[in-house]
Amino acid sequence: MIYIARLSVQCSRDIIFVVVFMFIMSLFVTILSVMLWTQCFNAVIQPQKEFDLQRFSGSWYRVGLAYDSPESVLSRKYLQVIKGNITSDMDGNANLTVWGRGPKDCVCLVYHYKKNDLPGQFLYFSQRHQMVKDVTVVESNYTEYSLVVKYKEIEKNFTQVSLYGRSPTLREEILERFRNYSLSLGFSAESIVIPASVDSCSERGC
């Protein structure tokens, strides 16, 4: 009986040790993942060299979106290609007009982007999240596609990668470039969406 009791105590200790060890390892993996994702953002997200706002202006379609926020999971299957138009002012600021579908009818939204110290990087106030966010044009050939990162700090609830095209469809090579870039920043494959249809409101305009 004494032997059984001792064995039971030893087993209990072993179980507690395993549970504590697994918890510590899980915590370590989580911290390491955050550190690695933070390093990715800090190291990679820089605006395109010699960015030209005049060439970047004009009509664009949002062809792809990478967004890992938990609240975006349910809306991914409803995502459509939307259209916008970018204009610039004399001070180097940019205005983005987007038209798409609202709760009841087509809506037109206007975003004002204030230029930052780095050409190709802008700041704006997000009414949705009640905070100032940065927007960085990381890559663009101006005539076909652009890669844009919203909120370059590590935060799944805010950070997005968007693929824009001058037309609603892009070559597979560009789509794959968008996917690989998003994955390199730590986005999950499930969070990368390339809609198959264009929102009918986008063609109506504002």
Q: pLDDT tens across 139-198, in order? A: 999 999 999 999 877 567 789 999 999 999 999 999 999 999 999 999 999 999 999 999
What is the residue range of 140's domain? 53-204
Cα distance between residue 195 and residue 81, in whole Å: 6
Cα distance between residue 133 and residue 135, in whole Å: 7
Give a yes or no: residue 4 inside a domain.
no
Does the pLDDT value for residue 33 go beyond 50? no
Give a yes or no: residue 26 inside a domain.
no
CATH of residue 58's domain is 2.40.128.20
Give a yes or no: residue 15 inside a domain.
no
The residue length of the chain stands at: 206
Give a yes or no: residue 59 inside a domain.
yes
Give a yes or no: residue 32 inside a domain.
no
Give a yes or no: residue 149 inside a domain.
yes
**pLDDT tens column, 72-123:** 787 888 899 999 999 999 999 999 999 888 778 888 899 999 999 999 999 9
How many domains does the structure of the chain reveal? Answer: 1
| Measured CA angle at 12 (ends 10, 17), to 5 deg | 95
What is the Cα 104 distance to its own chain's centre?
26
Does the pLDDT value for residue 41 go beyond 70? no
For residue 127, CA distances in Å to 35, 69, 131, 140, 161 come to: 29, 17, 7, 27, 19
